[in-house]
Amino acid sequence: MSEQVDVCIVGSGFGGSITAWRLAELYVAAGRDPKHILVLERGRPHKHTDFKQTMGIDHLSDVYNLTQSSGGTGVLLASGPQGCQVVTASAVGGGSNLYLAASLRAPREIFERRDHRPDDGTDRRMWPHQISRKTLDPFYARVERGLRVNRPSWNRVSKSGGLWAATLNAGGYTCDRVPVAINPDRCVEAKWCHTGCIFGAKNTVNTNYLASARLAGVRVRPNRQVESIDRASTPGYRYLVNADVMDNDGPNPTRMPNGQSEQIECKVLVMSAGAMGNPPILMRSQQNLPSLSSQLGKNLGVNGDHVAAIEYNPAKVRSVLGLPGYGQFYKGKPITTMTYDFWVGRRAHRYDGTRFTLQEIFLSSLTNFLYDDGRAPEGEPSWWGLQKKHAIAHWNNRIELLAMVEDTHDGTFLTPPPQGDAVSPNAGPVKVGIFSYELSEQSVRVRELANQAMKQIAGHSGLGRFMKLTETRGVYCAHPLGGCRMAESKDLGVVSHWGEAFDNEGLFCIDSSAVPTSLGVNPSLTISAVSERAADHLTLRGHELGLPARPKGFRHRTPAEHVGERVIPKRHKRSHSRTHGA
């Protein structure tokens, strides 16, 4: 016997949590119980105190998935290196648990782009005409309030971010501070955002949108992996969701389905499992939902992520930049400074596909072994030897850079696995994704431009040396986008500008899977703004789909802040006691 709800939301990251909260507001205002809204999440819930500041495999397996593409892996073609590794989250709250909290509005030019792969249709604006920077600005502002985004003062910039700013200044470039969704009063500058913030300083959806939705009455059911969608048989309901119960708990979890399953019928289905989750689920469902667009599973992107590093010469840092003893780059926030100088002033369409930003991003605890040691032959990675030992031993002299380039969406999902979004050989975090990723000439060329810029900046007055990321042939991505992209019509995309699947009333993709291009900045704020816009429309149109009508005078509110249990360092306990009466 299937369970029946009004709304089933698959996934609890930014898109799913924002939708849950906005619908909860609607239900409360209309006098209906939000318990009729159900959120399914494949991962398990975590308190702040459940996270760990460690790269231990047990903890990483509990919160991360590292998915390697099955097609194009490790192959070097004339157009450049192929293949892709994608980092995704698996926990209640989705990627917000692990993101580095950089929260930037995408540049105006992103929404006007006309560049795309040669095999991707006619020349056109890649975003639906209804969406622009101007139309998204009110929703950006709404998200900034919800996530408590703030721009750090210069004296709160991390040491690594300050070094990047000084390096840019010495080379004649500008630099600015990056807005972050981090509470400056709770942050202890530990730089461990990437394995979960134990201090409750980072504003995940568990501290605002999702927490507020749950307190309003929305049900969140963890350890549920949705496998497929079918048409509902009960009158008044549209979709039947088939979900497996996951073995995620206990001392030795398999992180695989445990043999139990559930079926949920719903009037409205919101797919928020992300760019790596939505396409495989819907592709497995195409026989049941034959009217889905043939574009499903195509146009997977990586937000133009391109990682590299600079290893500094400490003597030059002192003599050229005037920063004596400027080390300990592991202190501070993971992201605090970036330059837009390779973007600003390039508005004409002839620049589409050539622009990029350069951001300092702390990854040394994760990837200090990933860089080329510089030995001959040039361009070939070498993993051993004195030079490699030197690079690892002096990782404290190195900062990472994230170039976010305007590339094309080059990935394609192949036949989806029978279960989940990838093949899991064991309970660890590494999976094999059934998708290919072959970079277009444009995607290779713009990365080469970014490399040239970083190398030139690093080499100014002998400050340091540029280091390539050579562990992965192709691209390494923490920001997957697309696969169910929004478009003007069904022959170009899977969903409309509201996120509703063409010819499938009441089925929505509200998350990163709908974003049609790389963004030039960290994507969480844009994903959230697009989700806020879609959720707002859903509350307005909900009565047509069997949901409550929006009462007269209804207004959306900023979700309250709910920090919950967290670790408080000894040196912070006195001020915490005075502030919170603990």
Report the interhelical angle of 159-170 vs 314-321 (nearest 10°).
60
Confirm whether 375 is domain-assigned: no
Instruction: Please state the domain count of the chain.
Output: 1
Confirm whether 112 is domain-assigned: yes
127 vs 113: CA distance, rounded Å: 8
39 vs 17: CA distance, rounded Å: 8
46 vs 93: CA distance, rounded Å: 9
- The bridge status of strand 257-271 relative to strand 507-509 is parallel
Confirm whether 554 is domain-assigned: yes
Confirm whether 504 is domain-assigned: yes
Angle at 224 between CA 220 and CA 226, to 5 degrees: 115
Taking a C-beta distance cutoff of 8 angstroms, is the pair 440, 79 a contact?
A: yes
Confirm whether 433 is domain-assigned: no
SS3 338: strand
Q: Which of 221, 181, 229 is nearest to 201 (CA)?
A: 181
Distance of CA 24 to the CA centre of its chain: 24
Supply the CATH number for residue 117's domain.
3.50.50.60
The CA dihedral of 86, 90, 93, 99, to the nearest 10 degrees, is -30
Q: How far is CA 80 from CA 75, 437, 470, in A?
A: 9, 11, 13
Confirm whether 259 is domain-assigned: yes
Confirm whether 342 is domain-assigned: no
127 vs 114: CA distance, rounded Å: 9
Largest Cα separation within the chain, whole Å, is 76
- Residue 51's domain spans which residues? 1-67+88-145+193-301+481-582
Q: What is the pLDDT along the chain (582 residues), one digit of tens a residue?
A: 899 999 999 999 999 999 999 999 999 999 999 999 999 999 999 999 999 998 888 998 999 998 989 874 333 333 444 789 899 999 999 999 999 999 999 999 999 999 999 889 889 999 999 999 999 999 999 999 999 999 999 999 999 999 999 999 999 999 999 999 999 999 999 999 999 999 999 999 999 999 999 999 999 999 999 999 999 999 999 999 999 999 999 999 999 999 999 999 999 999 999 999 999 999 999 999 999 999 999 999 999 999 998 989 999 999 999 998 777 777 889 999 999 999 999 999 999 999 999 999 987 665 554 555 555 556 555 555 676 677 677 777 888 999 999 999 999 999 999 999 999 999 998 899 999 999 999 999 999 999 999 999 999 999 998 988 765 567 889 999 999 999 999 999 999 999 999 999 999 999 999 999 999 999 999 999 999 999 999 999 999 999 999 999 999 999 999 998 899 887 655 555 444 433
Confirm whether 179 is domain-assigned: no
Residues 6+ apart with CB under 8 A from 534: 19, 498, 499, 508, 510, 514
